[in-house]
Every structure is written in structure tokens, then in C-alpha cells.
Structure 1
Amino acid sequence: MVRVMVIDDEALIRTGFTHILNAADDIEVVGAVPGGLGVHAVRELQPDVVLLDIRMPDVDGLSVLADLRRMSQPPVVAMLTTFDADDYVATALRSGAAGFLLKDTDPEELPHLVRTLAQGGTVLSSKVTRRVVDGYLDHGAREPAAVRLTDRLTERERAVLALMAEGLANTDIGERLHLSTGTVKGHVTNLLGKLRVGSRVQAVLIAERAGLLSREGGEGVR
């Protein structure tokens, strides 16, 4: 059972997401609270996945994200927004968010996206994936710092990173590369360390800046 918390100041969003996700047999919404109660509620209820509004009137979603990331066992956090060109997107991803979803995501897709997050995958709404890749990075330029970091990776770690960019969880990566899930997890841990980042999305962004990922493949990050 995937335990989920929704942190959003809009009661309609909290109610709607709760109804949609609780309809899935393997997902339970353990809490749905406004932003000011978010950090306390996460500490109390310890969800696996948090869906966090990036812009709230009473508290900054990025501040909540930072507080959650500082926990000893932080949940997976995906940011929610109504804007497909939100200026906070890049900052959130680089601050450790595992994904970015629009609030009008197709209800039929939402449970699958939550499962992907829970399994260690990355989630970027299909409506904004290209904007994230092309708008917040350097339009195809290879950044020297990113190239130096990715040069530390082994061939196998690069293969794992490429599949991470497709949004695959460790189990799926293992099937594609004929490796055990534990071995994949080890590769992920190693490459995150070598790239000096704390999340899979941050690793994918560095790979993009280093020119390791095909622009045509960017839509796979979901």
C-alpha cells in the first residue's frame, strides 16, 4: 500500500485528489492538509509520497519542500501547480523534488504517477516536460561542469542514468539491463554520489546539461 499525503491550500484539490487516489486498491491517502500544517502532518503520519502545492498563500511550497528534505527519512515529494510555465519549477527540481505535476492531470493517470514516484521513478507532466528540458536548461549547450561530473560515471552507470531519464523505477531498469533490483539500486546510489546530487531528477538534469540525453527522448521523463 502506497501512503500518500496531499498538501494544498485549496480544499477542492485536496478532496479531489483524495477521492481519485483512494479509489485505487494499492493507494491510501493518509492525510490532506493546507500548507501551514504540512510539515507537522508528514512527521506524524510518515507518508511514502507527498503531493505538494508549489505556490500557497500561507506558506511557500519550496520552504515546505526544504523542511521535508531535511528529515532523516524524507518522503518522495512531487510538486503540484496550475501553471505549465511556473518559474519555481527548476528551483523545486534542483532542491530535491522528485517530480512536477499539473493539478489538471488526467485522473486516470494520477494513480500510475503516484506508483511511479513510490517506486523511485521521476514524474514530469507530459504537458511541461519539453518546457522543463528546453526552457530551464541551456538549449542544448554542453556545460563543462556537468561534463566533468558525468565523466566520472562508468558505462553501466550511464546506462542506468539514461533509463532513469525515461522515468523508470529500479525494478524496470533491472529488467531492461538484466540486473537485479539491488544491483540497480547500488548503481543509482553510486551515480548520485558521483554527480553530487540528492535526487534522481537532479541527476537527469545534470545528464541533460552534459549532453548525454537525446532531446527526442526528453518526453520519456514522466
Structure 2
Amino acid sequence: MSGSQLKELDVLLNITGASIGRCTFVPKDFGEANVNQHVCIIRPNEKVDSVYLSQWLASDFGQNEIMKNQAGGNREGLNFQQIKSMEVILPFVSEQKKISAILTSVDDVIEKTQAQINKLKDLKTGMMQELLTRGVGVDGKPHTEFKDSPVGRIPKGWDVVQISELCTDVVDCVNKTAPVVDYKTPYKMLRTTNIKNGRVDTDNVRCVTKETYHTWTRRMKPESG
């Protein structure tokens, strides 16, 4: 497997599957390792800084090159000739290193922030387990009496009921998927990608025409709450 052995500062690029285009570089003191057939090793020469090249490949410029070159245009993969033919914006090496240092420092902040977010997510998971099964009590006093239920132990005064008892409707859209338009309208269509982290994400929401909206929502129109 000598042909797939890694060296320090090799640039790694995923070339197949849903993760095509993800990239990084091998840090110093990483140790001995190989890659499999889904990862391409790009070994830079003296003309380019490894960190700069990996940052460029991860940028919109690099990702556009990757999407433009991928075989078949449907995420089938990249071959080595396509990778070799990609064009890279290339400053002087000294400037590359400065750019790399700035972007790496931002990555470090992102990594530390993400670590804090992960800790908060773990905290929330534990709190949800506690609050949704033991509650907060009444008048500042925690519940002391509990009972068995179909979902486990819960406070004695709580109930377990079906969702059908708590709502007036449970519906989906009347058809499969509404036809969207490439311009903004007051009529939004929420997809699975717009529902995440317990919120409605409207950053990348698609829109439909007024006529489509009224056709696709004839069962029920979404309302606040």
C-alpha cells in the first residue's frame, strides 16, 4: 500500500459519494496512515502552501471547480485527470502563508465555538430527559409522587394522551411537491432542509406562485404556532 501512504502536509480530497469535495491537509506529527479509494492524495510542490491549497479547495472557488469537473455531473466522482486540470488562484508563496494563517485562526475559533455548542447540546439533552419526565414541580416544590406509564415513570398528576387528543388537524400537502419559482414571492415552501435544530430556517427557502400556494394548501394553510 505504499502508493497510498500519507506524508505531512499532504492535501486530502474526498472524490466520491455524498461527501465529494470535502478536503483537509495532514497535520505534522500525524503518524503513519493510508487512504482508501474514496480519498485522493494531493502532494504539493514548492509552488504552493498545503494549507492554502486545502483552504482554496474548500472555498466556493474550489468547490465550483470540483462540481464542474465531477464525472457525469451527478456526484459520481472525480478522476485524477479532472483533479489535475483544476485551476487554482495562486499568489506568491509568502502571501499564501499569510492567507493560510488568517483562515486557520478563524477555523480554530470555529472549532472552539463548535465544542461549546456540542457541550450545550449534551446539556440540553440531559435537561430534556429530566424536565419531560420529572417536571419542575408546583410552587417551587419538586414532584415527590410518581407512577408508571406507557412511556416510563412520570409525576402522579400527569397524563399520557395521544396527539390526536391535542390537535385539530394532522395533514400534509395535497400533492407531492409544489413547483417552485426562481424569484421571491410572499408564498414560501418549506422543505426538509428548512426544518432543523428545532426551528424554521428561512435562509434558503424556496417560493411558489400565488396560484400554486392556494392549490397545494387547500387542505389547510399553515398558521403561526
Q: What is the TM-score of this pair, normalised by structure 1?
A: 0.19
Higher relative contact order (CA 8 A, sep 6+): 1
The structure with more radius of gyration: 2
Q: What is the TM-score of this pair, normalised by structure 2?
A: 0.19
Between Structure 1 and Structure 2, the one with more helix by share is 1
